[in-house]
Structure 1
Amino acid sequence: MNRPRPPKRLLGRRELIDFPGFALGGVEAKVDTGAYTSAIHCTDIHTETDAQQRPVLVVRLLDPDHADANGRPLTFDRFDLRDIRSSNGEVQERYVIRAVVQLYGEDFEAEFSLSDRSDMKYPVLLGRSLLRQGRFVVDVAKRNLSYKALAHARARRARP
């Protein structure tokens, strides 16, 4: 018996997203249907060895001028190193982590490649693998639909 699929949700070309596991909120993200893997801006990307002599990945997320960036390094004990094709067609070796991102108040776990995006307008790119998982469609004429929907729902609940 086939279950009815949940309806697809609409995203704009840009969205404000939250990373609850990193205590980051309101991060600007570009929705990119041409990219398979999502990406997040990081600096000071390197590996170290922990107390048990296992490799850990150490990064600083976002730029120091982002409201939620506090300069503290984050460490990951689960990560991959993969070849990722950049927007200009060049293949780059990048670290990839799994992270939870919130859209429409719902958590989605997705893979994010880590790269220096300081020369890009948006610190986060949301790729097709995340868009498929959440059953999202994109309206390029709109933006911040997820945040607007949550704000609207909060305002409705606050009314007497």
Structure 2
Amino acid sequence: MKTFDQLGVIGLREWINLPELGMVGLRAKIDTGASTSCLHASDIQPFDRDGEPWVRFTAHIGTLVQRRHRCEAQLVSVKSIKSSNGHTQSRYVIRTLLTLGEREWPVEFTLTCRKTMRYRVLLGSKALVDGQLLVNPALTYVQNKPTLADLSGAQ
């Protein structure tokens, strides 16, 4: 059997940070069937900053006790996404740093309403490839839970 020493191992669910958005300790579900990652957002408003397209949105943190967190990020694109139920919707795409364990790298997220879903963040296959991660679906929360001190790139 081949081994892949350069790849980090993660479980089906992991704790992450989004330091550029000022968000720490988010539970993310790993979704290898999705190409793009997504983040639960509402009140999404596009705007221009210095001639560049940006977007403002409210991110929702937590499942039992929800906190709202207002964010701004540069808009990368608008993408048509086909959901698992077959519906296609247009979503804003942002790119922000993601911290998982000891790794940090830029990840593209689509912004969408996930209020009926258990996990507010899904990590898709592109994020896993870029982060050089291998998923063991028999495990959960393999990497350490991030802390406020881990917000190295926070604004």
- TM-score, length-scaled by structure 1: 0.78
Name the counterpart of 1:156: none
- 2:122 is equivalent to residue 125 of structure 1: yes
Determine which structure has more spread, i.e. the larger CA radius of gyration: 1
Q: How does 1:1-160 map to 2 (within 5 A)?
A: 7-50=6-49, 55-63=53-61, 65-66=65-66, 69=67, 71-147=68-144
Contact 1:42 1:115 in 2 (8 A): yes
1:78-114 CA deviation, whole Å, 9 max, x = no partner? 3311101212222110000001110122211010000
Amino acid at match of 1:142: L
Name the aligned partner's letter for residue 102 of structure 1: T
RMSD, aligned CA: 2.3
How many angstroms apart in 1 are the aligned matches of 2:21 and 2:132?
Answer: 24
Q: Is the 8 A contact 2:53 2:75 kept in 1?
A: no
- Greater RCO structure (CA 8 Å; 6+ sep): 2
Given that 1:83 and 1:93 are in contact with CA atoms closer than 8 Å, whether structure 2 keeps it comes out as yes
User: Unaligned regions of 5+ residues in structure 2, if any?
Assistant: 148-155
The aligned amino acid for 1:129 is K
Distance in 2, matches of 1:60 and 1:106, equals: 26
Moved more, 53-62 or 139-148: 53-62
Relative to its length, the structure with more helix (as a share) is 1
Specify the code of the residue in structure 2 equivalent to 1:121. R
CA contact (8 A) 1:57 1:79 kept: no
Runs in 1 of length 4+ with deviation above 6 angstroms? none
Residue correspondences, number: 142
Shift of 1:76: 2.5
- SS of the aligned residue for 1:147 comes to coil
